[in-house]
Structure 1
Amino acid sequence: MLPLLAAAALLPGALLPSGVAAQPATQTTAADPQMAKVLADPRRDKDRARDAWRHPAETLAFFRIKPGMTVADYMPSGGWYTRVLVPYLGDGGRYIGIGPSLTALPEAGRQRWADFGTRFPANAAGWTGVAADRIPAFTLDAVPADLKGKVDRVIIMREVHNMWPGNLLYSDLAAIRAMLKEDGLLGIEEHRARPDAPASYTLGTMGYMREADVIALVEAHGFRLVGKSEVNANPKDSANWPDGVWTLPPSLTLKDKDREKYQAIGESDRMTLLFAKR
């Protein structure tokens, strides 16, 4: 059984948007048989080793994601959460892959993401067995007009440290805010630096960011924090590695040097945050 949802709570005095109910601080797959079925699917056999660090059932429950919703996944990369969300949202739901605004990227980035709208649906179809035409994908400067204000949830999983130094926060958070319904929510997971970490270590290039900085940056772009969860916390991570977060699993960039030490620590300490539009 996956760990219980740890210390997931609304902030004192924080109100969720109308129609979004607070949930208990403990929820497991036993309470959600659909999620349990998704996580046990053979298509996830290679993904499952990371469940102990990423806590998908508890994380998505904290983000108030339910079957039937429309959920957009920012920079979905290799599709780890795609393989969870596409089947979990079901036939009545909709999963959307979203990439960064091409206009905000340097030339190399534009070339990398230019074909995202056609490449990602085909990849996602192979990962999930769902037809590509049911898994739309867009860069954020090409979101169809009829999708704006129609999305229930957007998730940004360990990408704020790329958005911040890449000058993507303004363009992409503005576009994400426009996609969300009035009662829509933005869920963010990010590698967490120590509160006293120097700016030289928390500008994104080491993978870690201070929780206070992430909250301030997101709130400055039209959101308000409504909840935090410690479900993805890892107190063993000192978050001060000279080679950044990639020192730890799964990257293990130092290869065999102190490999057992880093494997024993596990994946990074992470903040898990929930925001509403303001």
Structure 2
Amino acid sequence: MTPTQKKSICWALPALLLSISLSASETAIQAAVDHPSRTPANTLRDQYRNPVSTLAFFEVQPDSTVVEISPGAGWYTEILAPLLHERGTLYAAHFPANSSSEYAQRTLASFQQKMAAHPIYSKVELTEFAASAGVQVAPDGSADVVLTFRNLHNWYMQGGDDAMRIAFNHFYRALKPGGVLGVVEHRLPEAQLDSDWTRSGYFPQSLAIELAEQAGFVFEASSDINANPKDTADHPRGVWTLPPSLRLGEQDRDRYLAIGESDRMTLKFRKPQQ
């Protein structure tokens, strides 16, 4: 073997190993997506939410320490819990237990019941998140990945730029140096920035990147995994006009079902190595 051939093999090996690693990761994520504990109604959303490609893009591995921010009813928790059950750690940062919101209390109680209903959730560590001071979503510097799905608009409606900065600061503290922040959110077209968008459920990608960078994150990549070019983001009841909410009921139902779920940005940020 010539020196040139040896050099070529040395260069090719890391790429081959990375390919094998990604393939193994996606296989593990697919097994979690197919786990029998998942709610059948939730699996119908897979075609819009693309969990295998999304979690692989965010570099989630079976041995990762992951923080899921504001998991709601647990759509992604149903996938993350079996994925991380054996070798990883999952923190579910839900509403604070002392929240004065009736909705928050009801949603948290329902999530706790879900976590108690199946052994696959026995290792999920319940923590708290609010876009305010004094909460800790996970021990500082402990997480490989922090994930948030379709939540930015909620924090912005409650507290504007300041709430968003506080939220991103929470995520930054929880991550290890080199850790990933993964964001999926309903995307507002930049051409609609001069409209009354703040309560539409959509959020500008440019503002999401700007506020994350202000917290110290480096914007690394975006993906069209969850893009939907059929969504014009200008519906009568905002994003909730579309499935799964369908706030208009039977009015134009077939039209909105044909559009499907919202157009979503999928953004990957990284906490710099220190």
Q: Give the TM-score band, short-chain normalised.
A: 0.7 to 0.9
Residue in structure 2 matched with residue 153 of structure 1 by the alignment? 145
Runs ≥4 residues deviating over 4 A: 100-103, 111-122
Q: Which residue does 1:4 correspond to in 2?
A: none
Alignment CA distance shift 1:200-1:182 (3 Å): same
Q: CA offsets per residue over residues 40-91 of structure 1, 9 Å max, x none?
A: 2232222111000000000000000010111001110010100000101131
1:201 aligns with 2:191: no
Between the aligned partners of 2:121 and 2:208, the Cα distance in structure 1 is 36
Is the CA contact (8 Å cut-off) linking 1:117 and 1:139 kept in structure 2?
A: no
8 A Cα contact 2:142 2:174, kept in partner: yes
- Root-mean-square deviation over aligned CA pairs: 2.7
Trace 1:48-59 onto structure 2 (pairs within 5 A): 48-59=43-54
Q: 2:108 & 2:263 partners in 1: Cα distance?
A: 32
Cα distance in structure 2, aligned partners of 1:200 and 1:182: 38
Distance 2:171 2:180 in 1: 10
1:225 pairs with 2:219: yes
CA distance in 2, matches of 1:266, 1:122: 30
Change in 2 beyond 3 A, CA 1:33/1:230? same
5+ residue gaps, structure 2, are: 1-17
- Segments of structure 1 that go 5 or more residues without pairing to the other structure are 1-22
Alpha-carbon shift at residue 173 of structure 1 (Å): 1.6
Contact residue 201 and residue 208 of structure 1 kept, 8 A: no
Given that 2:168 and 2:215 are in contact with CA atoms closer than 8 Å, whether structure 1 keeps it comes out as yes
Equivalent position of 1:246 in the other structure: 240
For normalisation by structure 2, the TM-score amounts to 0.80
Checking the alignment, whether the CA contact within 8 Å between 1:97 and 1:136 is kept in structure 2 is yes
> In terms of Rg, which structure is larger?
2
What TM-score do you get using the length of structure 1 for normalisation? 0.79
SS in 2 for 1:239: coil
Residue 35 (structure 1) shift: 2.2
> Which residue does the alignment assign to 2:114?
123
Distance 1:39 1:131 in 2: 14
SS at match of 2:211: helix
Q: How many residues align?
A: 246
Tell me: higher relative CO, structure 1 or 2? Use CA pairs within 8 A at least 6 residues apart.
1
Match of 2:178 in 1: 183
Q: What is the deviation of 1:200?
A: 3.8
Counterparts of 1:236-275 in structure 2, within 5 Å, are 236-275=230-269
Q: Distance in 2 between matches of 1:51 and 1:96?
A: 22
- What's the secondary structure of 2:79's corresponding residue? helix
The 3-state SS of whatever aligns with 2:37 is helix
Separation of aligned partners in 2, 1:117 and 1:51:
24
Q: 2:127 aligns with which of 138, 142, 146?
A: 138
